[in-house]
Structure 1
Amino acid sequence: MDWVFVHKTWDKWASTSVGSSGEPLKAALLINYDPTGPSRLLSTIAEQEGIKADPIELSHFVDFIKRNNLQTESFIIGPNQYLVTSIHDNWFSARCINTSKPAGEGAIVIQTAAYILVSLYEGSIGSASRAMAAADQLAWQLGRKNL
């Protein structure tokens, strides 16, 4: 695992994609995840920006991914509960079902060879498109190193 590459890539990506007003994402989380690894290896938070993930929630979220019942279950990240709305080969999108934001909130979850990227955004269709572009950019960079 090339931790230096991942950390530098994350820092550069997060500084232009996550957090401040006008950025496509309000928060992002990068989770170590190897579905072919031994079950005793726990997934851990590799990087996070704009959110302080709870290890228990993280465990439940990774279990949600492993069960692969995306259409019939919901998941929780931070204070929000999400329902999957669209499923693709290595990613899915979800909408928050308990938000107080008028335009709504959503999540894009992309699985790479070694990570799960969770990208959280506020807004609707346009915001989702910008969030997907930002998340895809990091996933592509990690994919170049097969991470």
Structure 2
Amino acid sequence: MDWAFIQKSWDKWVSSNIGSSGEPLKAALLINYDPFRPSRLLSTIAEQEGIKINPIELSQFVSFIKRNKLQTETFNIGHNQYMVTSIHENWFCARCLNTSKSTGEGAIIMQSSTFLLVALYDGSIGSASRAMVSVDQLVWLLSRRNL
């Protein structure tokens, strides 16, 4: 795995996609994840921006992914609880159940060959579309190196 390439790509992507009110995402998390590797090899956080996840929260989220009961269970990221709203081949969307924001909050989780990308955004349908474009850009960039 080319960690220098991942770091450089992440930094470039973060600078134009996460942060201020004009950006499509409020936070993102890149998790080193391979569903086919032995369970004794734990998933780790490769990169994160705008949110800090501890190892227990990470393991609970990864367990949610591995159980593959996306339609029947909820998951937590930070202090927020999410419910999956749509499932696609290698990604799914979720809405925050306990948000205090009137426009809502959402998450897009996309799986590449060796990573899970968790992207968090504020808003509804328009914001979700912008967030999806942003997520797809990073996954495409990382997949160019067959990571």
Query: 1:142 — aligned with what?
Result: 142
Aligned-CA RMSD value: 0.5
Matches of 1:123 and 1:43, distance apart in 2: 29
Query: 1:106 — aligned with what?
Result: 106
Query: 2:41 — aligned with what?
Result: 41
Deviation string for 1:68-109 (max 9, x for gaps)? Answer: 000000000011000000000000000000000000000000
Deviation string for 1:41-92 (max 9, x for gaps)? Answer: 0000000000001210100000000000000000000110000000000000
> Equivalent pairs: percent with the same residue?
73
TM (normalized to structure 1)? 0.99
Matches of 1:45 and 1:37, distance apart in 2: 16
- Structure 1 runs not aligned, ≥5 long: none
Matches of 1:113 and 1:128, distance apart in 2: 23
Matches of 1:28 and 1:54, distance apart in 2: 14
1:107-126 pair list within 5 angstroms = 107-126=107-126
1:92 and 2:92 are equivalent in the alignment: yes
Matches of 1:71 and 1:135, distance apart in 2: 22
Q: Secondary structure at the match of 1:71?
A: coil
Deviation at 1:38, TM superposition (A): 1.3
| Residue identity in the other structure for 1:57 | E
